[in-house]
Amino acid sequence: MTKAEIDKAYVWHPFDVMQQDHNIFIKKATGVHLHTNDGRKIIDAISSWWVNIHGHRNPHITRAVSKQLRYLEHVIFAGFTHEPAIKLAENLVRMLPGHMAKVFFSDDGSTAIEVALKMALQYWHNKGENRTQIIAIEGAYHGDTFGAMAVGARGGFNEPFEKHLFDVKFIAFPTNENRDLLKGFATLCQSGKVAAFIYEPLIQGSAGMRIYTPEVLESLLQIAKSNQVLCIADEVFTGFGRTGRSFASAYCHTKPDIICLSKALTGGYLPLGATATNAGIFEAFDKNEVSKIFLHGHSYTANPLACTAANESIRLFLTTECQNDLLRIALTFENWIAELYSFKNIKNCRSMGAIFAFEVDNDKDASYFNPIRERLYHAFLEKNILLRPLGNTVYVLPPYIISDKDLNYILKSIKEVLTELEGEDNVNILEKRNA
């Protein structure tokens, strides 16, 4: 059997809805390029699911992890500690907005969310207050574990599990035009039953890169805080520069009580989640009373190799070179908007920091299951670009080290694909008229 045949026979891939005959075999990766087994070189224009910000096989992170391997690969984190975790917690507390005081490590974005939800609910339980409701935003995606699914959009991915998910109060996607949003949110918060408000600050990634303003988020946070509702910022996607600032929460004056991190945390090297809290949250957990301890843990909590990769990734992120790259990409994306709006088959062309997105208008429902996604995915792959559309939403989310040459090639290829689609649309119109 070939490798492709073995893969098809034994491996169950995530989100396997592309209906591919086989998955592309990647032999190695360098910088922004994925090298296939048959000699192709594909631009990783989505940072391998939004995690790789410094490029594949970054020599600095590789060197740091290799050095750590000589000393300690893993140790139980209950009752023990180690230098990489101590250093990472200190780094995060110093750079995160909102006067964070403690960091709890887990495995990935979903587990960081689970930790945050459990912390928020137990916080009120420990204080003897009956606050058990969670508020989330319609269209949210916070992960695929049960707690994370519960605070995410219902239907679609989660439909088979809906009856098992705990009840959540959802508010409409925040827009400045929705005048009833703040009033309805305030009514929920004033009930005295709400434990926490969880949100993706400024942009819902998986929902189609939907952007909302810092002003409306600020209003929501102020309402929540005035009613003692804990605020949980899901910065799994937005953290480490993706929106133009180190963290999207920095755009608002009012800061969250809990921040969840993963994805770019380790620069795409190893899985790691982190949930940071302020001192007020931590102080509600009494180590002298077993019922008030946070009884939660993971086998690979604070894995030394992952923490080492994260520390080096943060060091690289804070360099002038990386910050200049972020600015360069942001300015490039702003220029792309004018370049692409001449195409009649796209709408809502937008950018924010190192994020660029637009929708292909194909008269179908704007959802993850829009049939145009497979057509677009393969069209870009044929041009050796990995772009994985969210339904009819095409987004570009490259590693920060990407060159202007590769960015220009991505734009050129997008134009070519859009031109092909316009040609197909014109043919379809003529066929309908002649029918």
The first and second tokens of residue 129, run together, are: 């207050």
Closest CA to 136 of 204, 187, 197: 197
Q: Tell me how many helices (H) and strands (E) the chain has.
A: 13, 16
Q: What is the pLDDT of residue 17?
A: 58
Q: What is the pLDDT of residue 19?
A: 52
CB 203 within 8 A of CB 246: no
Domain annotation for the chain: domains and CATH numbers: 3-57+320-434 (3.90.1150.10), 72-317 (3.40.640.10)
Q: Are 134 and 198 in contact (CB under 8 A)?
A: yes
Residues 6+ apart with CB under 8 A from 354: 241, 242, 243, 244, 326, 329, 330, 333, 397, 398, 400
* Residue 124, helix vs strand vs coil: helix
The one-digit pLDDT tens for each residue of the chain (435 residues) are 888 888 888 988 887 755 566 789 999 999 999 999 999 999 999 999 999 999 999 999 999 999 999 999 999 999 999 999 999 999 999 999 999 999 999 999 999 999 999 999 999 999 999 999 999 999 999 999 999 999 999 987 889 999 999 999 999 999 877 779 999 999 999 999 999 999 999 999 999 999 999 999 999 999 999 999 999 999 999 999 999 999 999 999 999 999 999 999 999 999 999 999 999 999 999 888 888 999 999 999 999 999 999 999 999 999 999 999 999 999 999 999 999 988 988 999 999 999 999 999 877 776 777 889 999 999 999 999 999 999 999 999 999 999 999 999 999 999 999 999 988 765 454 344 444
203 sits in the region (left: phi over 0; alpha: psi -120 to 50; else beta) called beta
Burial status of residue 279 (CB atoms within 10 A of its CB: 0-12, 13-18, 19 or more): exposed
Residue whose tokens read 């792309």:
336
C-alpha separations of 117 from 168, 261, 279, 298, 304 in Å? 12, 14, 17, 16, 25
Q: Are 353 and 243 in contact (CB under 8 A)?
A: yes
Q: Which of 345, 366, 322, 316 is CA-nearest to residue 425? A: 345
Radius of gyration of the chain measured on its C-alpha atoms = 22
Which residues share a beta bridge with 433? Answer: none
Of the candidates 379, 304, 360, the residue with the CA atom closest to the CA atom of residue 77? 304
What is the distance between the alpha carbons of residues 362 and 241, in angstroms, rounded to a whole number? 32
The single residue listed with the structure tokens 């002649």 is 434
How far is residue 47's CA from residue 113's CA, in Å, rounded to a whole number? 22
Residue 20: what pLDDT?
61
pLDDT, residue 22, reads: 74
Residues 6+ apart with CB under 8 A from 180: none
Contact 185, 135 (CB under 8 A): yes
Q: In a 3-state reduction of DSSP, which class is residue 398?
A: coil
- What tokens were used for 128? 């003897």
Tokens 């002298």, residue located: 288
> Which DSSP state fits 174?
P
β-bridge pairing 203-204 and 210-211: antiparallel
Residue with tokens 């995606």: 141
Report which of 142, 123, 270, 114 is spatially closest to residue 199, judged by C-alpha positions: 142
Asked whether 112 and 145 are in contact (CB, 8 A), the reply is no
The encoded tokens of residue 32 equal: 């922004």
For residue 434, the model assigns a pLDDT of 44
